[in-house]
Amino acid sequence: MTATDVIMQAFNEFGRVLELVGSVPAAAVVPAGLKTMVADLSGVVGISAGEIKMFLCLMLAYPLGVVWRHLPTPTAKHMFSTVVGLYMLMFVYGFQWIHVVICASIAYLIMKVGGPNSRHITAAVVLLYLACMHIYRQIIDYLGWTIDVTFALMVVTQKLHGLAFNYYDGNCENPTDDQKALSTEKLPSLLEFFSFLLFPSGVIMGPCVEFTDYMKFANGEVEIPSPYLAGLRRAGMGIFYFGLSQVISSYYPTQALLSDEKFLTSGNVLTRFGIQLIALIGYRTRYYFAWKFSEGAMILSGIGFNGIDKDSGKYRWDRVEAIDVRGFDFGQSLRQSAAAWNKTTNLWLKRYTYERVPSPLNLYFAYFVSAFWHGFYPGYYMFFMSMAVGTAVHRKIRRNVRPWFLAEDGKSPGKYKGVYDFFSFVLTHCTLMYFIISFVMLSWEASIRVYQSQYFIGHILAVVLYIVLSLGIIRPPKGTTVEKKTQ
C-alpha cells in the first residue's frame, strides 16, 4: 500500500466518523416528510435535490431577513441567526454542516489562544481546511456540480480570514484608515461569533459581510429606511437573469458546446468565438441570478443599506453588492470588470491579501489565493494566472496608449477618446471571454483543446503586447504628465 493510499484511507475514515456524528442532529431536525417532498419535486422538475434545497433557502432568506431586522435585542438576533442558520445548513448539506462548525471552532481557538498576532496562522488553517474539502470533492465528484458544503465553507473562510485581520488591526499601532474602520479590539463572544458566521440571509452561499458591519446592524446602531422596494427589485433582477440563462443555455450549453469536437472544428475561428460569446452570456447570468437574489435577502435584513448617495441624495443598498452587472459587462479594462465581478470576494482579496503583500508580488499573490480559494482544478489556475498577465498588459496599454487620446493636459478627453474607449471595451470583453474558458471547462485537457481550436490567439497576443510595451516601443507622447510618472 502506497503512502497516498494510506492518506486516502485515513481521510475516508475521518470522513465516516464526521458523517456519523453530523448525521444524527441533521436527521433529528429535518423531518423525513420534507426530505421526501424535495425528492419528489426533484424527480418532477429534473433538478437535483441539492439545488432545490438551496433555492428554497434562498427564497426563505427573504422573510427570515425581515424577522431578523425586527427582533428587539442584539441577543435575540444572535440567537436567531445561530439556530436558524445552523438548521439551514443541516437542511441543505445534511451531515456536512459539521465542517462549518469544526472549521470555525478551530479558527476561534487559534485567535483566542494566539491573540491578534495569530492572523496568518488562522488564515492558513481555514484556507487549508477549505482546500481539503475541495480535494475531497474533486476525488468523489470530478468535474461534477453536486451541491456540497464547500459552497458555505467558501463564505465562512472569507469571514474567518477577515475577522483574524480585523482583530489584528484593532490592536496594532499603525492601521490605515480603512483597516481601522473595520477593526475590532477584542474577539466576539461565541454567540456573536457563530451568529456572524451563520447569519441566515447569507449562510448558504453568501454574500460575505464584514464583522464590524454585521455587529453595527445587529446592535441597532444604523437607522434603516424601508428596504422592501430595493430588496424586491433585486429579487426581480435575479429572476430575470435566471430566465435569460435558461433560454440561452437551452440553445448554447457552454460546457457541452465547448466539449463537442464537431463544434471545435467547424466554421472559422471568428464564428466559433462569436458563438462562444453568446454561450457565455447564458453561463454567467446563472451567477447574476444567484448573487442578485442573495443581495435582496441581505437588503431586507437591513445589512445591505449603505447610507445616502452624496450626489443624488438617494438611498444606497450596495453594502454587500456581489455583482455590478453593467460594470462587468461594459468595463473598459480588466481591472474595472474584475472589480465588478463577485465584489465581496474582491474586497476580501483586496483588504486581506493584496494590501498586505508588497508590490509587485501582491497582484500575482492575490490571483493565486483566489484560485486556491476556488479549488484545485487546473482551469482555475490557468484562468487566474492568465488574468494576472492580462491585467499587467492592460495597465501598460492604459499607461502608454491612452495618453495619445487625451488632450495636452493629459486629463481631458481628446478628439478621438471615444474611439479608444470603444476599442478598450472590446479588448477587455474579448480578453475576459477568452481566458474564462479554462474557468468554465475546469480540466487541463478540455481547456487546452478549446484554446487550441482558437490557435492560442489570446495567449500569444498577451505575451507579444507585454514584450512590446515593456521594451518601450510604444510610449506616451513626450512631455505628458503620464510619461513623467512612468520614467
pLDDT digits (tens, 9 = 90+) for 427-464: 999 999 999 999 999 999 999 999 999 999 999 999 99
Residue that is last in its domain, among 168, 187, 218:
218
Nearest to 481 by CA among 392, 393, 411: 411
Task: Evaluate whether residue 422 is within a structural domain.
Answer: yes
Q: What is the pLDDT of residue 473?
A: 82
Where would I find the H helices in 46-73? 49-70
- Domain final residue, candidates 155, 186, 218: 218
Contact indicator for 296, 231 with CB cutoff of 8 Å:
yes
HEC states along 298-362? HHHHCCCCCCECCCCCCECCCCCCCCCHHHHHCCCCHHHHHHHCCHHHHHHHHHHCHHHCCCCHH
Question: Is 406 in contact with 413 (CB distance < 8 Å)?
Answer: yes
Report if pTM > 0.95.
no
Which structural domain range is residue 74 located in? 11-218
Residue 413 and residue 404: Cα distance in Å, rounded?
A: 10
Confidence of residue 191 (pLDDT cuts 50, 70, 90): very high
Give burial (CB, 10 Å; 0-12/13-18/19+) of 346. middle
Q: Predicted confidence band at 154 (pLDDT cuts at 50, 70, 90)?
A: very high
Block residue for cell numbers 451568529 = 195
CA distance linking residue 133 with residue 93, whole number of Å: 13
Q: Decide if 18 contacts 95 (C-beta within 8 A).
A: yes
Summarize pLDDT for 31-72 with one digit per residue, the tens: 667 778 888 888 877 778 888 899 899 999 999 999 999 999
Residue (of 439, 450, 466) closest to 383 by Cα position: 439
Which of 178, 194, 218 is the last residue before a domain boundary?
218
Q: How many structural domains are present in the chain? A: 2
Report the pLDDT value the prediction gives residue 484, as an integer from 0 to 100.
43
